[in-house]
Amino acid sequence: MTDERTPRDRRTAGRDFEVDLDDVLDEDGDEEDGLFDNLLSGEPIFENKEVLRPSYTPDELPHRTDQINNMATILVAALRGETPSNILIYGKTGTGKTASAKFVSQELQKTSQRYDVPSEVQYINCEVTDTQYRVLAQLANTFIEQNRDWIDRRTRELEELHEQAREDPSALLDTEFDDPPDLRERIDALEADRAEMDDVPMTGWPTDRVYNEFFDAVDYVERVAVIMLDEIDKLVEKSGDDTLYNLSRMNSELSNSRVSIIGISNDLKFTDFLDPRVKSSLGEEEIVFPPYDANQLRDILQHRSKVSFKPDVLSEDVIPLCAAFAAREHGDARRALDLLRTAGELAERDQEETVTEAHVRRAQDKIELDRVVEVVRTLPTQSKLVLYAIMVLEKNGVHNINTGEVYNIYKRLCEELDTDVLTQRRVTDLISELDMLGIVNAVVVSKGRYGRTKEISLSVPIEETEAVLRADSRIGDIDDITPFVQARFEN
């Protein structure tokens, strides 16, 4: 059947929204370049941009061989049916902890399938799943799901065997079953278990009931379960160490299965908050991921760029510059990859054929600005008011602002918003926090016999900061405030 409609008919058929086609068709009704045509027509820079995103797990991780081998040496116990030691993995953000741990898990699962040994890794991101209840419920449901699949497979096998045994009783000779009724009993028992296996709801039960469900689900069949808790410090920060305590003492009570834990953290000090028993059990093995240096980052980018970019689109200095910028930021591979991707996107947007050093510099500014916008947007209201006060002063040409000046404006803002006024001491603390976040720069200077004071300046672009602050509906309502700054006696 041929479609008799014109291209225009086809485009408008079934539309339930209005589009002005004159924007896309010229006066003679011919097609002009549409909104996306221009963007699509440029020679694309990327071969596969997804490869540069954090969600992609590379199958090669340069400069992490030692850590990967170390993990494998510990986890190989699972393939022998033994319990691997628990592992704690430390390292700053972007040092390849998650990528390496996931890589080793995939290899472990592949090998376990090949040798038919039941060992598996369950990954949990504790930034998302951050309470004992949710961790246990998520694990329980994963194992319940697997158990149901296992029962389905097993009952199918046993039904077949039952069929055979009814015709020929010798079919049961080398099995654990005495006769067909014995086998039938086993099938019925499995089906009864299956019927009882309900999911754990994500809220609402007492936590010990969830724990019991999880315990029964893991122990239902023989297996070694490695539980990988990424961002484990977030779990401890939010809900203490009960989950880790419970997981680390399970093995003494399990009959069929074994559990081992891999904890991943970028907070080197988080174990200080753990119960000593949990601390020693969790830290049986510790693996440290040091920051990458510029040369290592260069290798990592080189590997990824081969798959992600078209050939010859990167000018020579692009990768070294991305690596150098990211090495300055505590050797963060995620930052290096973000820079490279953003630089590529900027070149693509400009419809240029090569990515240059200038794109990398612009990408660095853009990423930095995005970070600032995000930090400012999520500040608590009081900190936003303090920052707003500093911004008002700068906008009115005041430099080397002191705390008293910030405090005066801050008080006026609070009055206008009819909100609580914090003490000057507390506001000084908030200024120090803004300093630590890199949003303002506060240096203590000595004023000779006038004592010491803080000189404060904004470290971020003023227009963008104002726009983000004003996007907060309460601050957006503030009328323009002109600071009254006392004459200063400079010495």
Ligand X SMILES: Nc1ncnc2c1ncn2[C@@H]1O[C@H](COP(=O)(O)OP(=O)(O)OP(=O)(O)O)[C@@H](O)[C@H]1O
Please give the residue ranges that form the binding site for ligand X (CB under 6 A).
54, 58, 61-64, 91, 93-99, 266, 300, 333-334, 337
Say if residue 410 carries a ligand binding annotation: no
Whole-angstrom Cα distance, residue 432 to residue 423?
Answer: 14
Minimum CB distance to ligand X, residue 437 (Å): 17
Minimum CB distance to ligand X, residue 103 (Å): 9
Which helix (H) or strand (E) is 358 found in, with range?
helix 357-377
Minimum CB distance to ligand X, residue 87 (Å): 14
Minimum CB distance to ligand X, residue 160 (Å): 45
Whole-angstrom Cα distance, residue 35 to residue 37?
Answer: 6
Neighbours of 252 (CB within 10 A): 6
Residue whose CB is less far from ligand X, 258 or 304: 304
Phi-psi domain of 96 (left: phi exceeds 0; alpha: psi -120 through 50; beta: other): left
Minimum CB distance to ligand X, residue 368 (Å): 18
Residue in this structure with the two tokens 């002009």, named with its chain if needed? 32
Residue whose CB is less far from ligand X, 194 or 334: 334
Residue whose CB is less far from ligand X, 95 or 132: 95
* Residue 263 one-letter amino acid: G
With CB atoms as reference, the residue minimizing the distance to ligand X is 96
Question: Euclidean distance between the first and final Cα of the chain, in Å?
Answer: 91
Whole-angstrom Cα distance, residue 344 to residue 354?
Answer: 8
Strands (E), 28-158: 87-91, 119-125
Query: DSSP letters along 82-118, please?
Result: SPPPPEEEEE-TTSSHHHHHHHHHHHHHHHHHHTT--
164 exposure class (CB count in 10 Å sphere: 0-12, 13-18, 19+): middle
Per DSSP, 291 falls in state: P
Say if residue 97 carries a ligand binding annotation: yes
Minimum CB distance to ligand X, residue 130 (Å): 15
Q: Interior CA angle at 55 toward 146 and 380, to 5°? A: 105
Minimum CB distance to ligand X, residue 315 (Å): 22
Whole-angstrom Cα distance, residue 227 to residue 37?
Answer: 48
Closest Cα to residue 99, out of 342, 293, 304?
304
**What does DSSP say about strands 440-446 and 452-458: parallel, antiparallel, or unpaired?**
antiparallel
Minimum CB distance to ligand X, residue 322 (Å): 12
Say if residue 99 carries a ligand binding annotation: yes
Q: What are phi and psi of 186, to 5 degrees?
A: -65, -45
Say if residue 428 carries a ligand binding annotation: no
Per the annotation, binding residues for ATP are: 95-99, 292, 304
Per the annotation, binding residues are: 95-99, 292, 304
